[in-house]
Amino acid sequence: AQLQKVHSQLIAAQIRLRQLEAYEAHAEQVLANQLVASYESDNPDVVTVVLNSTGFADLLERLSFMQRVRKQDINIVNQVRAARRAVAAEATRLGKLQVREQTLVAQVLSERNGLARTQASLWRQRATVAQFRAIKAGQRASAQAEVNRLQGQLSQLQAALAAAAARAAAAARAAQAARVAQTAAQSSSSSSGGGGGGGGGFTPAIATGSAPSSSGGFTFPLPKSAASPPGTWSPDQGVDISAPGDTPEYAVCSGTIVLHGIGGFGPWAPVLHCDGSLDGYSYVYYGHAGPADQLAIGTHVGAGQVMSSIGPGIVGISTGPHLEIGFADASGSPIGAGAGTMMSLLQAAYNG
Protein backbone atom coordinates (compact mmCIF):
# COMPACT_ATOMS: atom_id res chain seq x y z
CA ALA A 1 0.00 0.00 0.00
CA GLN A 2 2.79 2.40 0.86
CA LEU A 3 4.63 1.53 -2.36
CA GLN A 4 1.48 2.19 -4.41
CA LYS A 5 1.00 5.54 -2.67
CA VAL A 6 4.59 6.59 -3.40
CA HIS A 7 4.25 5.40 -7.00
CA SER A 8 1.09 7.50 -7.42
CA GLN A 9 2.87 10.52 -5.95
CA LEU A 10 5.79 9.90 -8.31
CA ILE A 11 3.49 9.87 -11.39
CA ALA A 12 1.76 13.06 -10.20
CA ALA A 13 5.15 14.71 -9.64
CA GLN A 14 6.29 13.75 -13.15
CA ILE A 15 3.11 15.30 -14.64
CA ARG A 16 3.58 18.44 -12.54
CA LEU A 17 7.23 18.66 -13.61
CA ARG A 18 6.30 18.44 -17.30
CA GLN A 19 3.71 21.18 -16.81
CA LEU A 20 6.26 23.40 -15.05
CA GLU A 21 8.83 22.73 -17.74
CA ALA A 22 6.28 23.73 -20.39
CA TYR A 23 5.45 26.89 -18.45
CA GLU A 24 9.15 27.68 -18.07
CA ALA A 25 9.72 27.14 -21.79
CA HIS A 26 6.82 29.46 -22.61
CA ALA A 27 8.10 32.14 -20.22
CA GLU A 28 11.60 31.89 -21.64
CA GLN A 29 10.19 32.13 -25.18
CA VAL A 30 8.27 35.27 -24.24
CA LEU A 31 11.41 36.72 -22.66
CA ALA A 32 13.43 35.86 -25.75
CA ASN A 33 10.88 37.47 -28.03
CA GLN A 34 10.90 40.57 -25.87
CA LEU A 35 14.67 40.77 -25.94
CA VAL A 36 14.74 40.35 -29.72
CA ALA A 37 12.11 43.04 -30.14
CA SER A 38 14.00 45.36 -27.85
CA TYR A 39 17.22 44.72 -29.73
CA GLU A 40 15.73 45.20 -33.19
CA SER A 41 13.83 48.40 -32.29
CA ASP A 42 15.42 51.66 -31.30
CA ASN A 43 15.88 52.14 -27.61
CA PRO A 44 15.18 55.85 -27.18
CA ASP A 45 16.70 57.65 -24.27
CA VAL A 46 15.02 60.45 -22.29
CA VAL A 47 16.51 63.25 -24.36
CA THR A 48 15.20 61.75 -27.60
CA VAL A 49 11.77 61.30 -26.08
CA VAL A 50 11.69 64.96 -24.94
CA LEU A 51 12.86 66.31 -28.25
CA ASN A 52 10.47 64.22 -30.29
CA SER A 53 7.48 65.07 -28.14
CA THR A 54 4.90 67.33 -29.74
CA GLY A 55 3.73 68.62 -26.44
CA PHE A 56 3.72 68.15 -22.71
CA ALA A 57 0.89 65.59 -22.85
CA ASP A 58 2.68 63.68 -25.54
CA LEU A 59 5.82 63.73 -23.39
CA LEU A 60 3.99 62.30 -20.43
CA GLU A 61 2.45 59.63 -22.62
CA ARG A 62 5.83 58.68 -24.04
CA LEU A 63 7.43 58.48 -20.55
CA SER A 64 4.53 56.38 -19.21
CA PHE A 65 4.87 54.01 -22.13
CA MET A 66 8.60 53.57 -21.47
CA GLN A 67 7.88 52.78 -17.78
CA ARG A 68 5.24 50.20 -18.74
CA VAL A 69 7.64 48.53 -21.16
CA ARG A 70 10.33 48.40 -18.47
CA LYS A 71 7.89 46.95 -15.92
CA GLN A 72 6.72 44.35 -18.41
CA ASP A 73 10.31 43.33 -19.08
CA ILE A 74 10.96 43.03 -15.32
CA ASN A 75 7.75 41.02 -14.86
CA ILE A 76 8.70 38.62 -17.67
CA VAL A 77 12.16 38.12 -16.15
CA ASN A 78 10.62 37.45 -12.70
CA GLN A 79 8.16 34.96 -14.18
CA VAL A 80 10.98 33.12 -15.92
CA ARG A 81 12.99 33.00 -12.70
CA ALA A 82 9.96 31.78 -10.71
CA ALA A 83 9.23 29.13 -13.33
CA ARG A 84 12.83 27.93 -13.21
CA ARG A 85 12.74 27.79 -9.39
CA ALA A 86 9.46 25.82 -9.51
CA VAL A 87 10.94 23.40 -12.04
CA ALA A 88 14.02 22.92 -9.85
CA ALA A 89 11.91 22.34 -6.70
CA GLU A 90 9.61 19.88 -8.47
CA ALA A 91 12.59 18.06 -9.97
CA THR A 92 14.12 17.77 -6.49
CA ARG A 93 10.85 16.39 -5.11
CA LEU A 94 10.66 13.96 -8.03
CA GLY A 95 14.18 12.75 -7.30
CA LYS A 96 13.31 12.15 -3.63
CA LEU A 97 10.19 10.23 -4.65
CA GLN A 98 12.25 8.09 -7.01
CA VAL A 99 14.71 7.30 -4.21
CA ARG A 100 11.80 6.50 -1.88
CA GLU A 101 10.24 4.24 -4.51
CA GLN A 102 13.53 2.42 -5.06
CA THR A 103 13.92 1.94 -1.30
CA LEU A 104 10.40 0.54 -1.00
CA VAL A 105 10.92 -1.74 -3.99
CA ALA A 106 14.12 -3.07 -2.44
CA GLN A 107 12.31 -3.56 0.88
CA VAL A 108 9.44 -5.40 -0.82
CA LEU A 109 11.87 -7.61 -2.72
CA SER A 110 13.75 -8.34 0.51
CA GLU A 111 10.51 -9.22 2.31
CA ARG A 112 9.42 -11.39 -0.62
CA ASN A 113 12.76 -13.20 -0.64
CA GLY A 114 12.57 -13.65 3.14
CA LEU A 115 9.06 -15.03 2.80
CA ALA A 116 10.25 -17.40 0.09
CA ARG A 117 13.10 -18.58 2.34
CA THR A 118 10.69 -19.05 5.25
CA GLN A 119 8.30 -20.99 3.04
CA ALA A 120 11.14 -23.18 1.81
CA SER A 121 12.23 -23.77 5.41
CA LEU A 122 8.67 -24.72 6.36
CA TRP A 123 8.50 -27.17 3.48
CA ARG A 124 11.79 -28.71 4.60
CA GLN A 125 10.49 -28.95 8.16
CA ARG A 126 7.28 -30.57 6.95
CA ALA A 127 9.30 -33.08 4.96
CA THR A 128 11.47 -33.79 8.02
CA VAL A 129 8.39 -34.23 10.23
CA ALA A 130 6.79 -36.53 7.67
CA GLN A 131 9.98 -38.58 7.49
CA PHE A 132 10.20 -38.68 11.30
CA ARG A 133 6.57 -39.80 11.53
CA ALA A 134 7.18 -42.50 8.97
CA ILE A 135 10.19 -43.75 10.94
CA LYS A 136 8.20 -43.69 14.18
CA ALA A 137 5.30 -45.49 12.53
CA GLY A 138 7.69 -48.19 11.37
CA GLN A 139 9.22 -48.45 14.83
CA ARG A 140 5.75 -48.56 16.40
CA ALA A 141 4.71 -51.32 14.02
CA SER A 142 7.89 -53.26 14.84
CA ALA A 143 7.34 -52.73 18.56
CA GLN A 144 3.71 -53.85 18.26
CA ALA A 145 4.81 -56.95 16.40
CA GLU A 146 7.37 -57.66 19.13
CA VAL A 147 4.71 -57.10 21.82
CA ASN A 148 2.38 -59.50 20.04
CA ARG A 149 5.15 -62.06 19.81
CA LEU A 150 6.02 -61.70 23.50
CA GLN A 151 2.34 -61.86 24.46
CA GLY A 152 2.06 -65.08 22.51
CA GLN A 153 5.10 -66.48 24.30
CA LEU A 154 3.68 -65.31 27.63
CA SER A 155 0.37 -67.02 26.90
CA GLN A 156 2.18 -70.23 26.02
CA LEU A 157 4.31 -69.96 29.16
CA GLN A 158 1.28 -69.30 31.35
CA ALA A 159 -0.50 -72.26 29.81
CA ALA A 160 2.56 -74.43 30.43
CA LEU A 161 2.82 -73.19 34.03
CA ALA A 162 -0.88 -73.80 34.60
CA ALA A 163 -0.55 -77.32 33.24
CA ALA A 164 2.53 -77.93 35.40
CA ALA A 165 0.71 -76.53 38.43
CA ALA A 166 -2.26 -78.80 37.74
CA ARG A 167 -0.01 -81.83 37.43
CA ALA A 168 1.87 -80.89 40.59
CA ALA A 169 -1.40 -80.32 42.46
CA ALA A 170 -2.69 -83.68 41.31
CA ALA A 171 0.56 -85.31 42.37
CA ALA A 172 0.39 -83.57 45.75
CA ARG A 173 -3.20 -84.72 46.28
CA ALA A 174 -2.25 -88.24 45.29
CA ALA A 175 0.70 -88.19 47.69
CA GLN A 176 -1.47 -86.85 50.48
CA ALA A 177 -4.10 -89.51 49.79
CA ALA A 178 -1.37 -92.14 49.87
CA ARG A 179 -0.12 -90.85 53.21
CA VAL A 180 -3.66 -90.87 54.61
CA ALA A 181 -4.17 -94.42 53.36
CA GLN A 182 -0.83 -95.50 54.84
CA THR A 183 -1.73 -93.90 58.17
CA ALA A 184 -5.10 -95.63 58.18
CA ALA A 185 -3.46 -98.94 57.35
CA GLN A 186 -0.93 -98.54 60.14
CA SER A 187 -3.68 -97.61 62.61
CA SER A 188 -5.69 -100.68 61.57
CA SER A 189 -2.64 -102.93 61.94
CA SER A 190 -1.86 -101.48 65.36
CA SER A 191 -5.45 -102.03 66.52
CA SER A 192 -5.49 -105.67 65.42
CA GLY A 193 -1.99 -106.53 66.68
CA GLY A 194 -3.06 -107.26 70.30
CA GLY A 195 -0.72 -104.79 72.04
CA GLY A 196 2.49 -106.24 70.72
CA GLY A 197 4.91 -103.22 70.28
CA GLY A 198 4.37 -99.56 69.47
CA GLY A 199 2.42 -98.34 66.52
CA GLY A 200 3.97 -97.11 63.29
CA GLY A 201 4.97 -93.48 62.63
CA PHE A 202 2.11 -91.00 62.69
CA THR A 203 2.07 -88.08 60.22
CA PRO A 204 0.36 -85.05 61.80
CA ALA A 205 -2.41 -83.48 59.76
CA ILE A 206 -2.08 -79.93 58.54
CA ALA A 207 -4.10 -77.54 60.66
CA THR A 208 -6.58 -75.89 58.34
CA GLY A 209 -9.60 -75.35 60.53
CA SER A 210 -8.59 -72.14 62.30
CA ALA A 211 -10.13 -68.95 60.94
CA PRO A 212 -7.83 -66.24 59.54
CA SER A 213 -6.65 -63.67 62.09
CA SER A 214 -6.76 -59.98 61.15
CA SER A 215 -5.80 -56.59 62.56
CA GLY A 216 -6.11 -53.12 61.08
CA GLY A 217 -7.18 -54.35 57.64
CA PHE A 218 -4.29 -56.84 57.41
CA THR A 219 -4.98 -60.59 57.55
CA PHE A 220 -2.40 -63.06 58.84
CA PRO A 221 -1.33 -65.16 55.81
CA LEU A 222 -1.40 -68.60 57.51
CA PRO A 223 -3.56 -70.54 59.96
CA LYS A 224 -2.18 -69.56 63.36
CA SER A 225 -2.28 -73.19 64.46
CA ALA A 226 0.10 -74.16 61.63
CA ALA A 227 2.48 -71.18 61.75
CA SER A 228 5.56 -71.14 63.95
CA PRO A 229 5.35 -68.63 66.83
CA PRO A 230 6.50 -65.02 66.30
CA GLY A 231 9.69 -65.59 68.24
CA THR A 232 10.94 -67.86 65.46
CA TRP A 233 10.18 -65.51 62.58
CA SER A 234 13.23 -64.05 60.87
CA PRO A 235 13.48 -61.00 58.61
CA ASP A 236 14.92 -61.48 55.14
CA GLN A 237 13.85 -59.51 52.08
CA GLY A 238 10.49 -60.18 53.66
CA VAL A 239 9.67 -62.23 56.79
CA ASP A 240 10.28 -66.01 57.03
CA ILE A 241 7.58 -68.06 58.84
CA SER A 242 7.91 -71.84 59.14
CA ALA A 243 4.86 -74.09 58.54
CA PRO A 244 4.24 -77.62 57.18
CA GLY A 245 4.14 -78.16 53.43
CA ASP A 246 0.76 -77.67 51.69
CA THR A 247 -0.44 -75.36 54.50
CA PRO A 248 -2.97 -73.00 52.87
CA GLU A 249 -1.91 -69.39 52.44
CA TYR A 250 -4.44 -66.58 52.92
CA ALA A 251 -4.73 -63.26 51.08
CA VAL A 252 -3.54 -60.56 53.48
CA CYS A 253 -5.85 -58.06 51.74
CA SER A 254 -8.53 -57.97 49.10
CA GLY A 255 -6.87 -57.70 45.73
CA THR A 256 -5.89 -59.35 42.47
CA ILE A 257 -3.30 -62.02 41.75
CA VAL A 258 -1.05 -60.42 39.13
CA LEU A 259 2.00 -62.70 38.85
CA HIS A 260 3.25 -66.24 39.43
CA GLY A 261 6.91 -67.12 39.87
CA ILE A 262 9.73 -65.02 41.37
CA GLY A 263 13.44 -65.69 40.97
CA GLY A 264 14.71 -67.65 44.00
CA PHE A 265 11.19 -68.26 45.31
CA GLY A 266 9.97 -70.93 42.88
CA PRO A 267 7.63 -70.99 39.88
CA TRP A 268 4.40 -70.84 41.92
CA ALA A 269 5.21 -67.84 44.15
CA PRO A 270 2.20 -65.50 43.67
CA VAL A 271 2.18 -61.69 43.79
CA LEU A 272 -0.99 -60.05 45.17
CA HIS A 273 -1.91 -56.47 44.25
CA CYS A 274 -3.98 -55.05 47.11
CA ASP A 275 -7.03 -52.91 46.40
CA GLY A 276 -5.80 -50.44 49.01
CA SER A 277 -2.41 -49.41 50.38
CA LEU A 278 -0.70 -51.27 53.22
CA ASP A 279 1.38 -48.58 54.94
CA GLY A 280 2.39 -47.23 51.53
CA TYR A 281 2.87 -50.57 49.78
CA SER A 282 0.55 -52.20 47.23
CA TYR A 283 2.14 -55.50 46.15
CA VAL A 284 2.70 -58.54 48.42
CA TYR A 285 4.70 -61.61 47.39
CA TYR A 286 4.40 -65.15 48.84
CA GLY A 287 7.79 -66.81 48.44
CA HIS A 288 8.39 -70.62 48.29
CA ALA A 289 4.72 -71.39 47.55
CA GLY A 290 3.71 -74.81 46.21
CA PRO A 291 1.30 -75.81 43.44
CA ALA A 292 -1.66 -76.64 45.68
CA ASP A 293 -4.53 -74.14 45.98
CA GLN A 294 -3.04 -71.86 43.32
CA LEU A 295 -5.42 -69.39 41.65
CA ALA A 296 -5.03 -68.09 38.11
CA ILE A 297 -3.49 -64.72 37.32
CA GLY A 298 -6.21 -62.09 37.18
CA THR A 299 -8.30 -63.70 39.95
CA HIS A 300 -9.68 -61.25 42.50
CA VAL A 301 -9.67 -62.54 46.08
CA GLY A 302 -11.05 -61.29 49.34
CA ALA A 303 -8.99 -60.80 52.49
CA GLY A 304 -8.53 -64.18 54.23
CA GLN A 305 -9.37 -66.21 51.10
CA VAL A 306 -7.10 -69.18 50.33
CA MET A 307 -4.96 -68.27 47.31
CA SER A 308 -1.95 -70.64 47.44
CA SER A 309 -0.08 -72.98 49.78
CA ILE A 310 3.35 -73.55 51.29
CA GLY A 311 5.55 -75.65 49.02
CA PRO A 312 5.98 -79.30 50.12
CA GLY A 313 9.71 -79.58 50.59
CA ILE A 314 12.37 -77.36 49.09
CA VAL A 315 10.90 -74.87 46.63
CA GLY A 316 13.27 -72.26 45.21
CA ILE A 317 16.27 -71.37 47.35
CA SER A 318 15.25 -72.69 50.76
CA THR A 319 16.07 -75.32 53.39
CA GLY A 320 12.55 -76.57 53.93
CA PRO A 321 8.84 -75.71 53.92
CA HIS A 322 8.20 -72.14 54.97
CA LEU A 323 6.65 -68.87 53.77
CA GLU A 324 8.63 -65.75 53.02
CA ILE A 325 6.14 -62.89 52.73
CA GLY A 326 7.03 -59.31 51.94
CA PHE A 327 6.36 -56.27 49.82
CA ALA A 328 7.28 -56.10 46.12
CA ASP A 329 7.19 -53.65 43.25
CA ALA A 330 4.97 -54.02 40.19
CA SER A 331 7.43 -56.45 38.58
CA GLY A 332 7.38 -58.76 41.62
CA SER A 333 10.89 -57.81 42.80
CA PRO A 334 11.04 -57.80 46.62
CA ILE A 335 11.44 -54.47 48.42
CA GLY A 336 13.81 -55.30 51.27
CA ALA A 337 13.22 -51.96 52.99
CA GLY A 338 9.64 -53.00 53.70
CA ALA A 339 10.59 -56.05 55.83
CA GLY A 340 10.24 -54.13 59.10
CA THR A 341 6.77 -52.86 58.14
CA MET A 342 5.72 -56.39 57.16
CA MET A 343 7.01 -57.77 60.48
CA SER A 344 4.93 -55.21 62.41
CA LEU A 345 1.77 -56.01 60.42
CA LEU A 346 2.29 -59.77 60.87
CA GLN A 347 2.79 -59.49 64.63
CA ALA A 348 -0.30 -57.28 65.02
CA ALA A 349 -2.46 -59.65 62.95
CA TYR A 350 -1.12 -62.75 64.75
CA ASN A 351 -1.89 -61.26 68.14
CA GLY A 352 -5.19 -59.76 66.99
HSE of 122 in the Cβ direction (CA atoms, 13 Å)? 6
158 or 235, higher pLDDT = 235
Q: Residue 286: is its pLDDT beyond 50?
A: yes
Choose the weakest-confidence range: 7-11, 143-147, 206-210, 258-262. Answer: 206-210
- Report percent pLDDT > 90 for the chain: 46
Q: Structure pTM?
A: 0.44
pLDDT for the residue numbered 333: 92
What angle do helix axes 2-40 and 56-192 make, rounded to 10 degrees? Answer: 170
122-136 pLDDT, tens per residue? 999 999 999 999 999
Give the residue, 158 or 72, on which the prediction is more confident.
158
**Domain spans in the chain, listed from the N-terminal domain onward:** 2-122, 215-351
Average pLDDT, whole number, for the chain? 81
Alpha helices in the chain (DSSP H): 2-40, 46-52, 56-192, 339-351
| Count of Cβ atoms closer than 10 Å to residue 311 Cβ | 29
Question: How many CA atoms are closer than 13 Å to the CA of 155, on its beta-carbon side?
Answer: 6
Domain 215-351 in CATH 2.70.70.10? The answer is yes
At 204 the pLDDT is 36
Over residues 28-38, the mean pLDDT reads: 69
Query: pLDDT of 293-322, one tens digit each?
Result: 999 999 999 999 999 999 998 999 998 999
